[in-house]
Structure 1
């Protein structure tokens, strides 16, 4: 699991970070499936949490469980750096949501190398919301990777409804389309939507995190059954 390390929005007193439910909900889906989870981030150590994601309106069962789970808090608070895990092999990769990903995942050489290795080894990669920005790091190594790919991510409408659109470095949708992706989204903002194309599973927003994690678990179970 990869989390953003970036906390600052381009606005006075603006703070972002990991959208907590997209970590917690997926984390428990993976633990319940019997997976061993490694949590990493660009810088390592404690990842910031977007304060908005801890407001009552956004609390999920995963967050409630996380708040009472010492080991999960240890994983979140002591992430490995991408430098430390970049040379290791993993059976799957999951990238959580968080506006910070627009800054530290969109042009991260180590992350690009990790995803490129996944592409070469047919390793499934799941991304949620702003975590989809990681594809831009991969595109620096494989420019045509997004051509024709069916993908979803946080939309401009959702950014506007959160009133953060004016402070972001770029539009996810626009950049994905510029690189040739076939961008899709739910008709109603903030409702679940997931796309699968090859090894890539993308979820539109935090509401899509459970579906995205489940799709990754199902993909892994099928591969384990086939390999067995």
Structure 2
């Protein structure tokens, strides 16, 4: 079983002067769910190399069992520092794909042509795809039969109220909840910060960091 994990390369939080990137829990929890089940996980990002970590995801209140394990896992840290470039990977070589969130994907993966093509290829090859929190941004410009890929699909993602709670509503280029609704998806959500995962065919989406482990388990079931 081979799964591709796609991380953001974007580290600037709009014009705030602050840093962003991927959310550690949304990478670590799914990684260990998959790896512990014997899945071979390949890491990739638009620019390759070390993807930026969102500093907010390393604070004390953001720690989980998975992030603590990652902090001690020198082997995985080394692997993470050497992600492949997206242009070097193709859907045909994998059984599924997982996109962790963090705010970074709103800026790069939403419009990255390699990522868009990759997702469309996974979809056309009927392979499972999981995207968590802000990572559904990567679906924003994907198409199927010249229609938005998510049109009519049951999806979730970071909510408008969760974005308001972290004070970034006016910083992000778009809101996940609004974007999914604009694209004609059947967007739904649970209470803020609760684990919530939607599965439609082989498209899996998770609402927030707390949903990342459950999304990975859903992906695993398809493998």
TM-score normalised according to structure 2 size: 0.94
Q: Which residue is equivalent to 1:225?
A: none
The alignment status of 1:74 with 2:78, answered yes or no, reads yes
Q: Which residue is equivalent to 1:211?
A: 214
Q: Partner of 2:173: helix, strand, or coil? A: coil
Q: Partner of 2:219: helix, strand, or coil? A: helix
Name the one with the larger strand percent: 2
Name the one with the larger helix percent: 1
Q: Deviations over 1:76-127 (max 9, x none)?
A: 1111110111365210100001101001111111111111111111110000
1:33-44 pair list within 5 angstroms: 33-44=37-48
Q: Could you tell me how far apart the structure 2 residues matched to 1:172 and 1:150 are?
A: 14
Q: Could you tell me how far apart the structure 2 residues matched to 1:14 and 1:164 are?
A: 12
- Report the RMSD for the aligned CA atoms in angstroms: 1.4
TM-score normalised according to structure 1 size: 0.92
Q: Mind listing any 5+ residue stretches in structure 1 that lack a counterpart?
A: 221-228
Q: Partner of 1:37: helix, strand, or coil? A: strand
Q: Which residue is equivalent to 2:166?
A: 162
Q: Which residue is equivalent to 2:25?
A: 21
Find the partner of 1:45 among 46, 49, 55. Answer: 49
Q: Could you tell me how far apart the structure 2 residues matched to 1:11 and 1:104 are?
A: 15
Q: Mind listing any 5+ residue stretches in structure 2 that lack a counterpart?
A: none
Q: Could you tell me how far apart the structure 2 residues matched to 1:80 and 1:137 are?
A: 23
Count of paired positions: 219
Q: Could you tell me how far apart the structure 2 residues matched to 1:212 and 1:115 are?
A: 17
Q: Could you tell me how far apart the structure 1 residues matched to 2:175 and 2:169 are?
A: 8
Q: Could you tell me how far apart the structure 1 residues matched to 2:30 and 2:146 are?
A: 28
1:179-198 pair list within 5 angstroms: 179-186=183-190, 188-198=191-201
1:12-161 pair list within 5 angstroms: 12-86=16-90, 88-139=92-143, 142-161=146-165
Q: Could you tell me how far apart the structure 1 residues matched to 2:111 and 2:59 are?
A: 30
Change in CA separation of 1:82 and 1:142 when aligned onto 2, cut-off 3 Å: farther
Deviation at 1:144, TM superposition (A): 3.6
